[in-house]
Homo-oligomer: A and B are copies of this chain.
Amino acid sequence: MESKSSLFSAAVILQYASGVLYVTLTSHNTPDASIAWRLPSTPVFPSHTSLSSLSYALGQTIGLQDTDISYKEQLYTTETIRESQSHTTICYLYLSRGMKWHKGTQQVGVFPITKLPKLSQEDKAIVRYALDRFHAKTLYSTIVGFILPEVFDLTQLQQAFETVTQQSVDRRNFRKKILSLGVLMPHSPEQTKSSPTTPTRYRLKSSQLTLFDTPFRMQSAKPEATLKASKNQSR
C-alpha cells in the first residue's frame, strides 16, 4: 500500500544578543494586503531529506548559510488536515551564534521573542515548544554556549543563561557551578592575568553538545498543566 502526503519542514532559528532572544520569521503577503509572518518552512523536495531541503530553502529565502548555524535539533512532527489533505511538518530548532544576520527586509524579520508579531496557533505552539526545550536543555547541557560567540566571559554566559531560563542566579554560585562542570576552557590569547574590568574569557571545551553530570536544578517553569496523552508530547 502506498501513501502520499505533503511533507514540509520548518525551523525555529534562535539568535541572542545582550539579554534578548530573537526568532527569525518570514513574511508572506496575504490576500487582504496585510502582512502575515510565519516560521521559515519549505516543502521537502522529492528524494531529499527534510533537513537538506530546509538548508537549501533557508539559503534561498533568508540568505542563511549552514556555517551560520552552530546547532540543530529535531523538535517534533506535526500534522494538520485541511480539506481532507494532510500536511505534515517536521520542525527543527536551529541556533546561531550572536546576531549573525538581522536584515529586516520586507521578507525576513528578526523578532525578540517577547515581541512576536501575530502568528498562527500552530507556529506559536512550535516556538513555545522550542523555547521550552531550549530552556530545559540549558539546565543539563552546554547548549546555551551555542548562541554565544565562540569566546565569551562568564558574565555573558550567565546573562544568556538567565535569559533562557528566565530566572536570575547568584553570580558566585553560578561561577562555582559552571566551572565545576569542567566544560569550559579558558581562552587566553596574550592576556596573561585576569584583572577587574578585564574579564577572563572562556570557550566550550567541546564543539559538540555536552551533557552535565550534575545538572543545574531550579524550578523549571511549570509544564503547563497536563497534556493529553494522545497529543504530541515530546520532551
Q: Mark A residues whose CB is within 8 Å of B.
A: 1-8, 43-51, 71-77, 79, 81, 84-86, 88, 90, 133, 137, 206, 208-211, 213-214, 217, 219, 223, 226-227, 229-230, 232-235
Contact = CB atoms under 8 A, between A and B. Distances in A.
B230 A49 contact: no
Nearest to A226: B208
Contacts of A77: 50, 74, 76-77, 90
A216 to B, nearest CB: 12
A229 B217 contact: no
A189 to B, nearest CB: 26
Contacts of A47: 81, 84-86
A76 B213 CA distance: 25
Given A72-B230, A208-B227, A229-B209, A44 B5 contact: yes
Contact of A5 (B1, B5, B209): B5
Most chain B beta-carbon contacts within 10 A, residue among A7, A44, A85, A233 = A7
| Nearest 10 CB-CB pairings of A with B | A3-B43, A208-B226, A47-B84, A4-B4, A77-B77, A74-B232, A49-B79, A5-B7, A1-B43, A3-B44
Contact of A3 (B45, B51, B209): B45
Given A50-B79, A84-B47, A229-B209, A234 B5 contact: no
B213 A219 contact: yes
Contacts of A219: 213
A217 B217 CA distance: 11
Contacts of A90: 77, 88
A156 B229 CA distance: 24
A136 to B, nearest CB: 9
14 contacts: A4-B6, A5-B5, A5-B7, A7-B7, A49-B79, A73-B229, A74-B232, A76-B77, A77-B77, A88-B90, A208-B226, A208-B229, A211-B223, A235-B235
